[in-house]
Amino acid sequence: MLEVTGLQKIYRDREREVEAVRDLTFQLTEGELACLVGPSGCGKTTLLKCIAGLMEPTSGTVELAGRSVTGPPPDMAVVFQEYGRSLFPWLTVQGNIELPLKEKKLPKKRRGELVAESLEAVGLSGSARAYPWQLSGGMQQRVAIARAIAYEPRVLLMDEPFAAVDAQTRADLEDLIRDLWNRFDMTVLFVTHDIDEAVYLGQRVLVLSSSPTVVQDDVSINLPSVRDQLTTRSDARFTELRTRIYSEIQNAKHTSAAAK
Amino acid sequence: MNMMTADSVRPARTPTDQRRLAGARRPVRARVPGAGALLGAGGAAASLLIWEIVPRSGVVSPKYLPPASEVLAAFVERLALQSFWTAVGDTLITWALGLAIAFAAAVVLGFLVGSVPLLRTFTSSTVEFLRPIPSVALIPLAVLIYGTGMQATLLLVVYAAFWQIYIQVLYGVVDVDPVAEQTARSYGLGRWSRARHVTWPSALPYLITGVRLGAAVALILTITGQLTIGSPGLGQSIDVARSSGAVASVYALILATGILGVTVNVGVRAVERRVLRWHTSVRGENTA
């Protein structure tokens, strides 16, 4: 479904070169929910932008359903961390969700259905006419997620979407993502720096090394598919997995420090 | 001149030179809302009283400064005259037409030049040279081209208002949030759609600031042109009143231009509140 092959990104300016991503290769199969986790500054956002077609890699390729990604693909939606800047303050909640659908030239009736359905899915049915800035942070991110869902993407990319919300809201939103992934037919790539979050959400966790980045490990999360904030997080396997990934990341930091 | 600078330069996000100006002249706010209005009314009454006393007591000759009561009487008298309203109409038409032309030209050119970095760099030196030229320096040129008709004054108005708006648009077009831009691109919005749905609303706060500044400058140049060139309007009426020695009428007409200025400012402010109700400068930061 999604194939990233030998991806490399070097930022260049006049004085120096920074190799943010060295050599990344991985595949996601259709309908998978995978989490990407790595130490801060490891180039997660760079990788995501390359996959989203917002940035051109220095070398390597990204393929979505067999087609090479050169610009933003029509069947992919991105949820950014900065919901406050990603939602347009001059449009209402409904206007924000509808804008990409208008661009897709969907008829008015269909747009209305998608807006209603997506808002219902994120639990914000009553807020269509509100402006995003009238809502709380958690609600704003729900609107951004609703906008992505309404776009009917085959692949949903999420760039640390819950990094800026409080812990309780975060737990709710994590469950929302699991719920939406079960309900809608899509592949989800969820980028985070939070190991617990990655293990709780994913079927699979890709562990990235420090910059310059490679895939350090690919961990399959063999937890039951119905997850719950209390029981899943107290499961012995959960603890075991998070310990493993934690030490992987610590390891990654040290090796890269030693290499320097 | 104060009318344009004192409270009109308070946009949410503007180039630093204007922010400095705003900081220097920011009006002091009263703590209790009602008390502010009351104090203001009291201040106006006191000024009128002083204006009444000074000429009557002979500190200043009434020949040069007639008492307030006389000026107000002359003003009321004017209100009944057809010629006064024709002059007001001419002034408003010159102002509005000049502002509209400047607006259209500044928006089109500003968007074009602002969105092409190469063009922006290429034109910046020329702009920086032309912009500080005081419009009044163009009076001889305007007269040479258009004589003493409305067009001559219009030229000054357009020139002065254009730069105010153009510079703002130029800044506004590049101040698009990169996250908003990337969001739009990731949802497949093309160049034209992004210009319409992202760049235009992002630049709007700047544009409105430009219009507010431009509207005030346009009025100043309208009156100046009419006064010095003799195009029809309030400025010309002032000059006619002066040459016929009707001092109280001169003051009454000046009063009329002042009222016009306040009206223009209040009007633009109302437009701003409506168009930018989503923007932090209007809605405030204290939201959920």
Question: CA-to-CA distance for A64 and B229, rounded, in angstroms?
Answer: 69
Residue B138 has pLDDT above 70, yes or no: yes
- Asked whether residue B88 is domain-assigned, the answer is yes
Task: State the pLDDT at residue B210.
Answer: 95
Distance of alpha carbon B160 from alpha carbon B242, whole angstroms = 27
Give per-residue pLDDT as tens, A34-74. Answer: 999 988 777 888 899 999 999 999 999 999 988 899 999 99
Q: Please report, for the domain that includes residue B111, its CATH number.
A: 1.10.3720.10
B253 is in which domain, residue-wise?
65-281
Query: Is residue B173 included in any domain, yes or no?
Result: yes
Asked whether the predicted pLDDT for residue A208 surpasses 50, the reply is yes
Q: Give the span between the Cα atoms of B275 and B13, in whole angstroms.
A: 16
- Cross-chain residue pair A103–B204, CB shorter than 8 Å: no
Identify the pLDDT of residue B252: 95
DSSP state of A260: -
3 state SS of A82:
coil
3-class secondary structure for chain B? Answer: CHHHHCCCCCCCCCCHHHHHHHHHHCCCCCCCHHHHHHHHHHHHHHHHHHHHHHHHHCCCCCCCCCCHHHHHHHHHHHHCCHHHHHHHHHHHHHHHHHHHHHHHHHHHHHHHHHHCHHHHHHHHHHHHHHCCCCHHHHHHHHHHHHCCCHHHHHHHHHHHHHHHHHHHHHHHHHCCCHHHHHHHHHCCCCHHHHHHHHHHHHHHHHHHHHHHHHHHHHHHHHHHHHHHCCCCCHHHHHHHHHHCCCHHHHHHHHHHHHHHHHHHHHHHHHHHHHHCCCCHHHHCCCCC
Structure tokens at B116: 């092409």
Alpha-carbon distance values, B113 to B38, B116, B117, B121 (Å):
48, 5, 7, 9
Average pLDDT on A113-127 reads 93
> A217 at the B interface (CB within 8 A)?
no
Query: What pLDDT was estimated at residue A258?
Result: 54
Q: Which residue(s) pair with A5 in the sheet?
A: A61
pLDDT band at A20 (very low <50, low <70, confident <90, very high): confident
Taking the alpha carbons at both ends of chain B, their separation in whole angstroms is 40
Partner B contacted by A75 (CB < 8 A): no
| A90:B187 CB<8 A | no
* CA-based nearest distance A39→chain B, Å: 22
Map residue A220 onto helix, strand or coil.
strand
Residue B25 predicted with pLDDT over 80: no
pLDDT tens per residue, range B224-279: 999 999 999 999 999 999 999 999 999 999 999 999 999 999 999 999 999 998 88
- pLDDT bracket for residue A255 (50, 70, 90): low
Alpha carbon of A96: minimum distance to chain B alpha carbons (Å): 10
Pair type for strands A213-220 and A17-28: parallel
User: Residue B201 and residue A103: Cβ atoms within 8 Å?
Assistant: no
pLDDT for B32 equals: 64
Of B154, B142, B139, give the one whose Cα is nearest residue B97.
B154
Q: Hey, is the C-beta of A53 within 8 angstroms of any chain B C-beta?
A: yes
What torsion, rounded to 10 degrees, do the Cα atoms B26, B32, B35, B37 define?
50
User: Residue B269: phi, psi to the nearest 5?
Assistant: -60, -40
Q: Indicate if the alpha-carbon torsion angle B15, B279, B182, B109 is positive or negative.
A: negative
Neighbours of B46 (CB within 10 A): 10
- Name chain A contacts of B278, Cβ cutoff 8 Å: 89-90, 131, 133
What is the pLDDT at residue B202? 94
Best residue in B175, B186, B279 to probe A by mutation, most A CBs within 10 Å? B186
DSSP letter, residue A114: H
Report if residue B200 sits inside a domain.
Answer: yes
Q: Search chain A and give the residue with CA nearest B283.
A: A133
Angle between helices B234-243 and B247-275 (to 10 degrees): 170
A103 and B188 within 8 Å at the Cβ level: the answer is yes
- Among B182, B183, B200, most A C-beta atoms within 10 A, so best to mutate, is B183
Whole-number mean pLDDT of chain A? 90
Cβ A208 vs Cβ A216: under 8 Å = yes
pLDDT greater than 70 at residue B29? no
pLDDT > 70 fraction of chain B, expressed in percent and rounded = 87
**Burial (CB count within 10 angstroms: exposed 0-12, middle 13-18, buried 19+), residue B218:** buried
Shortest distance between the Cα of A227 and any Cα of chain B, in A, equals 31
Q: How far is A62 from chain B (nearest CA, A)?
A: 15
Query: Which DSSP category does A75 fall into?
Result: T
Query: Are the Cβ atoms of B180 and A131 closer than 8 angstroms?
Result: no
Q: What is the mean pLDDT of chain B?
A: 87
CA distances B84 to B54, B229, B237, B257, Å, are 28, 19, 8, 12
Q: Is the pLDDT of residue A148 over 60?
A: yes
- Give contacts of A 129-158 with B, CB under 8 A: 131, 133-136, 147, 151
What's the rounded mean pLDDT across residues B165-169? 95
Q: Reduced to 3 states, what is the DSSP secondary structure of residue A60? A: strand
From B192, which residue of chain A is nearest by alpha-carbon distance? A103
Burial pattern B137-175, b for ≥16 Cβ within 10 A else e, equals ebbeebbeebebebebbbbbbbbbbbbbbbbbbbbbbee
Residue B78 covered by a domain: yes
ipTM comes to 0.90
The count of domains in chain B is: 1
User: At B33, is the pLDDT very low, low, confident or very high (cuts 50, 70, 90)?
Assistant: low
How would residue A92 be classed by pLDDT, with cut points 50, 70 and 90? very high
Determine contact: B28 vs chain A, CB below 8 A: no
SS3 category, A104: coil
A vs B: CB pairs below 8 A: 59
Read off the pLDDT of residues A152-176 as tens digits, 9 standing for 90 and up.
999 999 999 998 888 889 999 999 9
* Mutation for B interface: A56, A64, A88, most B CBs within 10 A: A88
Does residue B155 lie within any of the structural domains? yes
Q: Which residue of A has its CA nearest to B204?
A: A90
Smallest Cα–Cα separation from B148: which of B85, B226, B235?
B226
Instruction: Say if the Cβ atoms of B287 and A90 lie within 8 Å.
Output: no
Q: Does A94 touch chain B (CB under 8 A)?
A: no
Q: For residue B250, is it within any domain? A: yes
What is the structure's pLDDT at A223?
87
Show which of residues 150-209 on chain A sit within 8 Å of chain B, judged by CB atoms: 151
Q: What distance in Å separates residue A55's CA from the closest CA in chain B?
A: 10
Residue B204 CB contacts under 8 Å (≥ 6 apart), including other chains: A90, B172, B275, B276, B279
In tens, the pLDDT along B111-135 reads 999 989 999 999 999 999 999 999 9
B193 in contact with A, Cβ within 8 Å? yes
pLDDT band at A225 (very low <50, low <70, confident <90, very high): confident
- What does the pLDDT read at residue B13? 43
Residues 6+ apart with CB under 8 A from B96: none
- Tell whether A70 lies on the interface with B, counting CB pairs under 8 A: no
Cis ω for the linkage preceding A39 (within 30 of 0) = no
Q: What is the distance between the terminal CA atoms of chain A, rounded to a whole angstrom?
A: 36
Model pLDDT, residue A40: 77
Q: β-pairing, A76-79 with A155-159?
A: parallel
Check residue A78 and give its pLDDT.
95
B158 vs B145: CA distance, rounded Å: 15
- Decide which of B111 and A256 is more confident: B111
In angstroms, the CA A159 to CA B186 distance is 13
| pLDDT above 70 (res B5) | no
Contact A103 B190 (CB under 8 A): yes
Domains delineated in chain A? 28-57+69-75+154-260 (3.40.50.300), 84-152 (no CATH)
pLDDT score of B181: 94
